[in-house]
Amino acid sequence: MTAPVEGRPQAERMVDVRSVRRVYGSGHTEVVALHDVSLRVNKGELVALIGRSGSGKTTLLNIIGGLDRPDGGEVFVDGVDVAGLNEAALERVRRDTVSFIFQGFGLVPELTAAENVGLPLRLRRLPSADRERRAALLLELVGLGDHGEHRPDEMSGGQMQRVAIARALAGSPRLLIADEPTGQLDTETGLAVMALIRGVVEAEGMTAIVSTHDPVMIALADRAVRIEDGRLVDA
């Protein structure tokens, strides 16, 4: 068997974060959000990223997903060094490889559930009939097959988050990043949404990193990673 080449991420890794540092501000206003953070996530793994607000969870997820850039270190996603990409290449990564679920749902209020789910496919210029079929399939997957014509203001928080999950799956991403996806939901609904994420990760064969401040929810993850004051303390 051929030995892995030094400096190159191994094939089974979806995420390989190496000595990443992120600093905001300068001088007396400087805040170090991430201190020399390294994290490896294998393909097909569901990892819970836990820590209190302000610990660096969102910064780390944004850097992995290409929404932010580190001030030092390397970030490989599916073998691609996203920290070194230009903006056009990063847009392709966000379109074709990585998908996001946010705490605030991020649905377009004027669009129906089906239209929201199909939005990423419209950006890919997929024919409308194909978009509609994929949206209907995904809404069924998240238990909202009969809500396709409902707009966000006609749905509960849990239902809106399910639509957001369906939208995140629309483009068949290889990496799903969820930043506090249950933060606006009650405990029972939040656990149901986490169970749904666990199920769709397995059904779609994806890798997922989910940040949460609720340790109860880590039971559904393959493993948990804790971050405190910008440092991983349990990886």
Ordered by where they begin, the domains of the chain are: 44-69+94-234 (3.40.50.300)
**Cβ-Cβ contacts under 8 Å for 189 (sequence gap 6 or more):** 156, 157, 158, 161, 182
Dihedral angle of Cα 169, 175, 178, 179, to the nearest 10 degrees: -140
Higher pLDDT, 229 or 195: 229
Mean residue pLDDT of the chain comes to 88
Q: Enter the tokens of residue 45.
A: 């793994």
- For residues 135-157, give the mean pLDDT: 93
Per-residue pLDDT, averaged over 116-143, amounts to 89
For residues 63 and 24, what is the distance between their CA atoms, to the nearest angstrom? 13
pTM (two decimals): 0.86
Rounded alpha-carbon distances, angstroms, from residue 86 to 92, 129, 130, 209: 10, 33, 31, 24
Q: What is the mean pLDDT of residues 131-144?
A: 90
Work out the percent of the chain whose per-residue pLDDT is above 70.
94
> Cα–Cα–Cα angle for 139, 142, 143, nearest 5°?
85
pLDDT band at 7 (very low <50, low <70, confident <90, very high): low
Q: What is the pLDDT of residue 70?
A: 95
Please give the single-letter amino acid code of residue 93.
V
> Reduced to 3 states, what is the DSSP secondary structure of residue 31?
strand
Write out the two tokens for 40: 């490896």
Residues 105, 108: Cα–Cα separation, whole Å: 9
Residue 160 CB: number of other CB atoms within 10 A?
Answer: 23
Give 51-77 pLDDT, tens digit per residue: 888 899 999 999 999 999 999 999 999
